[in-house]
Homo-oligomer: A and B are copies of this chain.
Amino acid sequence: MSDPAAAPPTIAHSGQRALVTGGAGFIGSHLVERLLHEGCEVTVYDNLSTGRGEFLENARRDPRLRFIEADLLDQATLTTAMQGQDVVFHLAANADVRFGTQHPRRDLEQNTIVTHNVLEALRIAGVQRIVFSSTGSVYGEPNVFPTPEDCPFPVQTSLYGASKLAAEGLIGAYATGFGLSAVIFRFVSILGERYTHGHVFDFLKKLRSDPTSIEVLGNGRQRKSYLYIEDCIDGILRAHWAEPGEVRIYNLGTDEYCTVNDSLGWICAELGLDPVRRYTGGDRGWIGDSPFILLNCGRIRSLGWQPQVSIRDAVVRTLHYLCTNDWVLEHP
């Protein structure tokens, strides 16, 4: 992994007070551990709707960790929690891109409206810095690959992407209107330990239920980029610690991609299985699925960051984690 200590030391981080929304989630809990390791005081704000108390087992041994179990729709509790913070890492979200059309209001509420609540709490409490997890899904179906942050103005194709774009817009407007400093990350899908949804999770569950045959969404030739969780955390902190600006936006992914078939092949090889593959067909796994995701990450690489774990290794590590943590698989 790249060495965060080598990042430009323009913002002192030891002793910095950080609030992490969604801090009991997959990405959040890794970030919390790292922030504690770096000497920060950390407040986790999580309603445990998808976050898991177990993910904070290590972190809770540290007396500098404070845990608030509350909802981001509870503006009063949120604003109180925000008092005295130096930075808010806003990671809480409905993080699954696939089911938007089945719950058309969920992304709006959990991603857009909640982000507005977080920004209002920052404004009222006088917190100056927000770090936000957006998504490469805001590019819809781009024409440029690898896709840079300033690619042609995209049209949205998923409610998830639209809700994150709306949140980005609110953050930009608050930065201009109220003088906040913001860092926005557009992630590819993240893999690794504590991963609780997505294709590795789904494939493993299906193969446990029937090792001889597996359904694959789409034609299996969708091309996707993934990033390993520790590389993701490195990127978040490197950009956060770099020279502040009004609104900085960074893609965060790898320079490689794999197909769904590639990933399934790696999973089957690890498990020693050779199931018949049944394809649902079409070049998309679901409505609004983007058949090709590959982000240009030159901007964050220019800060000295680079990913250390390949997509294949990230898939395999994720698989090993799930195989040795059945409880995650059973109760997503």
Interface residue ranges, A against B (CB under 8 Å):
100-101, 104-105, 108, 112-113, 116, 119-120, 123, 140, 149-159, 161-163, 165-166, 168-170, 172-174, 176-178, 247, 249, 287-288
Contact = CB atoms under 8 A, between A and B. Distances in A.
B170 A157 contact: no
Number of copies of this kind of chain in the complex: 2
16 contacts: A100-B177, A105-B116, A153-B153, A153-B154, A155-B172, A156-B176, A157-B172, A157-B176, A158-B176, A158-B177, A161-B173, A162-B173, A163-B169, A173-B288, A176-B287, A177-B287
A140 B247 CA distance: 12
B155 A249 contact: yes
A119 B247 CA distance: 31
A161 B169 contact: yes
Contact of A172 (B149, B156, B174): B156
Main secondary structure of the interface of A (DSSP, over half): helix
Contacts of A140: 172
Given A156-B172, A162-B169, A176-B287, 11 more contacts: A101-B177, A104-B116, A105-B116, A108-B170, A150-B152, A151-B153, A152-B153, A153-B154, A158-B176, A158-B177, A166-B170
A150 B159 CA distance: 21
A111 to B, nearest CB: 10
In order of increasing CB-CB distance, the 4 nearest A-B pairs are: A166-B166, A162-B169, A156-B172, A156-B169
